[in-house]
Amino acid sequence: MKTPCRFSYFLLMLISAELASALVVHGRAQAVRIPEHTCHRLVYWSSCDWQKCIQECSKEPYGLGQCENNTCICTYYCKEPPK
């Protein structure tokens, strides 16, 4: 009798993961509306914490953060195109 419950839980987790990834893709697309106005900023830490990275990058307009090794990569909208 526990199998249907586990299956339902698995199905719920799968749907949640798909919805979350769709929201992230939508958020990223919103942050990169005009490629010429996309700026990047690198923040170096001893270890990149994704929550701290997201908080740091959200200070910028439409800012999004992503950790890679010890680096937080911020992508955000800038009024003037980078030179």
What count of Cα atoms within 13 Å lies in the side-chain half-sphere of residue 65?
Answer: 21
**pLDDT score for 79:** 83
Kindly report, residue by residue over 65-77, the tens digit of the pLDDT. 999 999 999 999 8
The C-alpha atoms of residue 33 and residue 64 are separated, in whole angstroms, by 13
Who wins on pLDDT, 26 or 34?
Answer: 34
**pLDDT score for 4:** 60
What is the residue whose two structure tokens read 């939508």? 26
Phi, psi values for residue 80, rounded to 5°:
-100, 135
| Mean pLDDT across the chain | 74
Q: What's the predicted TM-score (pTM) here?
A: 0.56
Domain map (residue ranges) of the chain? 2-77
**pLDDT score for 7:** 59
